[in-house]
Structure 1
Amino acid sequence: MDIEGRRAVVTGGAIGTGRAVAIALAAAGAEVVVADIDEVGGRETVDRAGADRCRFVRTDLTDPQQTADLITSTRPRILINNAGGGGHLPPHFPEASAEEWERLLTLNLIGPMRATQHALVTMRSDGGVIVNISSIAGLGLGPHPSPEYSAAKAGVIRFTATLADVAPARVVCLVPDWVATERVTDAELASDPPPIPIAAFTDAVLGLIADDSLAGRVMLLPQVGQPQLLA
């Protein structure tokens, strides 16, 4: 899909990977909608991307109605389900209360599923691309500090792969390792191996959007080596 002239919604676009993707999409000619609960960060993203190409819509992606309103009002041709995180913040399952770990599941799995369901209504007639952002925490069979976070991210991967046949829309997934966002310290940048450069992350997202041969595919973005399709 050509990015230029398309409307793109980026959830979790107020900081980090979401901000970087929003800026990259605007630079590629998209009309970008930044969705986040962080109004200050969201408006800073708009300023950096350019107010002529980007606007902010305050949205809580754990709220079903706000999620529905975001998608139905903007009708994106490109949807980046980037909102998520929280896996590093204690308490974790089983010490966390049911309300705490359910909210993390909602943000990282149910929210993207809701947004995808609404987006497919219009994309199935007009076409479009949905990029789900997972995490390496969702891969493998070993322990993880946050079982609820890793389970949610594993769910995003499997959810994407089941949607290989929703043409003319496409649903794909990016599974990054540690990414060098603005929150990474100098010491962390100097680690071996270093975090993934933010430009490599945005290049991978834009590549998944552009490649019309990819549907229901999952791409791993490792700290070392080249991106690779897992499914």
Structure 2
Amino acid sequence: MDIKNKVAIVTGGASGLGRATAEVLAQQGAKVAIFDLNDERGQQAVAEIGADKAAFFAVDVTSDQSVEQAVDAVVNHFGGVHLCVNCAGICPAARTLSRDGEPMPLSGFSTAININLVGSFNVARVAAAAMANNEPSGEAGERGVIINTASVAAYEGQIGQTAYAASKGGIVGLTLPMARDLAPLGIRVMAIAPGIMGTPMIKAMPEKVQDALVANIQFPKRLGLPAEDFAGLVVHIAENAYLNGETIRLDGGIRMGPK
């Protein structure tokens, strides 16, 4: 898919990996719809990217009504939807049993699954319905591309990551069947499983903590770059029509042991 003049939805687009992705897609000539709950950051992102290239929509990804209304608004504003990148998510930390032997509150587990997994599916399903109305384009006759964000935790979740790892494992698990569902329509589905990315949250950690994280990375010995590495892979996936139904680890060869 040629990204230029296409319309991309980026959830969690007001910060972190989503913000980097929104910026890079706009630089590549796409029109970007930023879905986020943080109005202040969303408006700031639009101001910095450019109102001619981006628009902000306050969206709760766990709400079917919120997402359906927002996607309709994107179609009305930009004329369609061609790319959907789901970056919205949370990363809670809690053990199954606390040090005092208390079970993790079920609400904590449910919230992670609802935002990270159900939220991603919610946006993907509605975006796919909009994509299905597009005219086929390119040599492959594509109508759209959906890219969900998993994590290396889907494969090697750490202590305290039961909810997070389960939610990201769900992203990995739905990738191929969703790709099969949407293949007859010319819509591809991929997932990216990032390792330790240098988002503002990670960069705010003490340097010794960052160094400890980097020590587990094989090569290159650095944190992942949100724009160059993550968003760059989003662009490549969008442009490479033969990538479909797969999760790509983006992690510098890291394999996380129990900690």
Instruction: Specify if TM > 0.5.
Output: yes
TM norm structure 2: 0.79
- 8 Å CA contact 1:86–1:149 kept in 2: the answer is yes
Query: 1:86: how far off?
Result: 2.3
Residues 1:13 and 2:18 are matched in the alignment: no
Letter in 2 for 1:153: K
Asked if 1:162 is matched to 2:151, the reply is no
Q: Secondary structure at the match of 2:146?
A: strand
Match of 2:247 among 185, 208, 218: 218
Change (3 A) 1:214 1:178: same
Of 79, 88, 92, the residue aligned with 2:84 is 79
Matched, 1:178 2:196: yes
| Distance 1:86-1:207 versus aligned 2 partners, 3 A rule | same
The question of whether the paired residues in 2 share the 8 Å contact of 1:171 and 1:215 is answered with yes
Q: 1:138 aligns with which of 147, 154, 168?
A: 154
Which whole-Å CA distance do the structure 2 matches of 1:86 and 1:171 have between them?
23
Cα offset for 1:93?
4.3
How far did residue 182 of structure 1 move? Answer: 2.1
Deviations 1:62-121 (A, max 9, x none): 222112222233242110111012234xx4545332222211111000011111111222
Question: Structure 1 residues 98 and 49, CA, compared in 2 at 3 Å: closer, same or farther?
Answer: same
Q: Where does structure 1 lack aligned partners over 5 or more consecutive residues?
A: 226-231
Moved more, 119-128 or 145-154: 119-128
Partner of 1:202: 231
What residue identity is the alignment partner of 2:224?
A: I
Matched residue SS, 1:87: coil
**Offset of 1:26 from its aligned partner?**
0.6
Question: What is the CA-CA distance between 1:224 and the residue it aligns to?
Answer: 4.0
Does the 8 A contact of 2:95 with 2:159 survive in 1? no
State the 1:48 CA deviation.
2.2
CA contact (8 A) 2:62 2:122 kept: no
Distance 1:159 1:22, change over 3 A: same
Please give the root-mean-square deviation of Cα atoms over the aligned residues, in Å: 1.9
- Check the 8 A contact 1:137/1:144 in 2, yes or no: no
Structure 1: how far apart are the matches of 2:47 and 2:253?
Answer: 33
Structure holding more strand per residue: 1
Q: Is the 8 A contact 1:14 1:42 kept in 2?
A: yes
Residue 33 of structure 1 and its aligned partner are, at CA, apart by 0.7
- Of the two structures, which has the highest relative contact order with CA contacts closer than 8 Å and spacing of 6 or more? 2
Letter in 2 for 1:38: N
Counterparts of residues 16-31 of structure 1 (less than 5 Å):
16-31=16-31
Query: Secondary structure of 1:14's partner?
Result: coil
Residues 9, 79 of structure 1: 8 Å contact kept: yes
Residue 157 of structure 1, CA deviation = 0.7
C-alpha distance in 1 between matches for 2:13 and 2:5: 19
Separation in 1, partners of 2:25, 2:169:
26
Q: State how far apart, in whole Å, the 2-side matches of 1:17 and 1:171 are.
A: 19
CA distance, structure 2, for counterparts of residue 180 and residue 143 of structure 1: 19
Count of aligned pairs between the two proteins: 222
The alignment-based identity, stated in percent, is: 27
* Cα pair distance change 1:144/1:159, threshold 3 Å: farther
